[in-house]
Amino acid sequence: MSSRVVLTMLGVALAVSAIILAAADVDEEERGRSSRADDTTEHHDPVATVLPVPVLKTYRALFPGHQIWQVSQTGRENDAEFEMIIFHPKTSSSQGQQVGRAHVLTLMNYKLLVKGTGEVIREQAHPIAEDAVPKTVKDAVARWKRPLQGRTCSVEWLAHQEVGAERLYAVYIELTAIEGYRATLKTDGTFVKGANAFEKYQPKNP
Tell me the pLDDT tens digit for each residue of 186-206.
999 999 976 667 888 888 644
Cα(58)–Cα(60) distance, rounded to whole angstroms?
6
pLDDT for 20 beyond 60: no
Is the CA virtual torsion 73, 76, 77, 80 positive or negative? negative
pTM score of the predicted model: 0.73
Query: From residue 24, how far is each of 10, 13, 19, 32, 120 by CA, in Å?
Result: 21, 17, 9, 12, 47
φ, ψ of residue 162 in degrees (nearest 5): -90, 165
Q: Please give the residue that has the higher pLDDT: either 152 or 37.
A: 152
Q: What is the pLDDT of residue 89?
A: 87
Least confident residue range of 23-32, 38-47, 112-121: 23-32
Give the mean pLDDT of 99-124: 93
